[in-house]
Amino acid sequence: MTTAADPLTAVPNGAPDNSDDPELAARAAELVRRAVLGDLARRVVAECGADVGLVGVPEPLPGSRPGTEGMVLRHWAGTRADLLHDVPVPAGLGLGGRALAERAPTWVPDYRAATTISHQYDAAVAADDLYAMLTVPLLDGDTVHGVVYASLRTVVPFGDVRISAVGKLAATATRALAGAAAWSREQPDRPDWPDRPEGPEKPRPVTPARPLTRREHEVLRWAATGRTNPEIAAHLGLTCNTVTGYLKSAMHKLGVRNRTELALAARETGLVS
């Protein structure tokens, strides 16, 4: 069940009434996009019975020709190793690259033994002990907003129930992403506003009321990348309660109310890049 604060459903159909700054709208839309994609990776694990959730984000890949499709694995949940983090995936390579190229879901019961995909990523898949894998493109008309992966640490066929569950999450995320993209596009162009100076306007920095401690900054940096509290706790050698305490303290100092606002404030202050 979702609530009004749910990243997958909280995107408005149009620009908010009080938004008259296209740069602010673009930053807000990007923040929503990251929140939705990070939440999607976590939900694949929490709600669909997967061991690992990944989301690839379409991006130009280093060294690729202009117009060549590709994505980078930017969001993850449940991973044990780092080899699947920030991995570039050209269209057509691996299971996710195949979903990106074919614009259709695809799955295999045993990734490492599959004969229908390329095997450039076997080492990374093996490092996380993954076998069964499902990939679903986040498709809105001709636009692909990303590809979500659901992976298991066992050799099993993907049943209709799990495929349907991942597909429904992907469809909900796609609607939110399409809404965020439209929200950004619908803002008026700056040249139409005569009272604004020419050239880009720099975002106004926000200064924390009190400096963050080293631990608060560490926890904030990992939270801003979409890591869950248990993942942060495991990485830093802390308890989940301690991580929660550091996050609450950082949120209080930055004057924000939730993780989404925290991530935006952290980037605007330069605490994370």
The predicted model scores a pTM of 0.64
Q: pLDDT tens for residues 151-165?
A: 999 999 888 888 999
- CATH code for the domain in which residue 67 is found: 3.30.450.40
Q: Which domain holds residue 220?
A: 205-269
Residues 121 and 209 occupy one common structural domain? no
In a domain, 52, yes or no: yes
| pLDDT on residue 151 | 97
Average pLDDT, stretch 42-68?
Answer: 90
Residues 242 and 128 occupy one common structural domain? no
- CATH code for the domain in which residue 209 is found: 1.10.10.10
Residues 217 and 172 occupy one common structural domain? no
Residues 52 and 167 occupy one common structural domain? yes
Residues 55 and 180 occupy one common structural domain? yes
Residues 35 and 122 occupy one common structural domain? yes
| Total domains present in the chain | 2
In a domain, 88, yes or no: yes
Tell me the angle at which helices 240-254 and 259-269 cross, rounded to the nearest 10 degrees.
60
| pLDDT on residue 41 | 95
In a domain, 6, yes or no: no
Q: What are the CA-CA distances from residue 214 to residues 98, 229, 240, 241, 246 (Å)?
A: 42, 17, 17, 17, 10
In a domain, 191, yes or no: no
Confidence category of residue 212, pLDDT binned at 50, 70, 90: confident
In a domain, 63, yes or no: yes
Residues 251 and 124 occupy one common structural domain? no
| Residue 179 pLDDT > 50 | yes
Q: pLDDT tens for residues 79-120?
A: 999 999 999 999 999 999 999 999 999 999 999 999 988 899
| pLDDT on residue 198 | 41
Boundary (domain end) residue, out of 150, 185, 220: 185
Residue type, 147: V
Residues 29 and 163 occupy one common structural domain? yes
Boundary (domain end) residue, out of 185, 215, 242: 185
In a domain, 196, yes or no: no
The burial of 257, by beta-carbon neighbours within 10 Å (0-12 exposed, 13-18 middle, 19 or more buried), is given as exposed
Residues 55 and 155 occupy one common structural domain? yes
Residues 66 and 131 occupy one common structural domain? yes
Average pLDDT, stretch 202-229?
Answer: 69
| pLDDT on residue 16 | 44
Sheet with 70-77, strands from edge to edge, namely: 88-90, 70-77, 52-58, 143-151, 133-140, 106-108
| Residue 46 pLDDT > 80 | yes
| pLDDT on residue 270 | 67
Residue linked to tokens 């990007």: 30
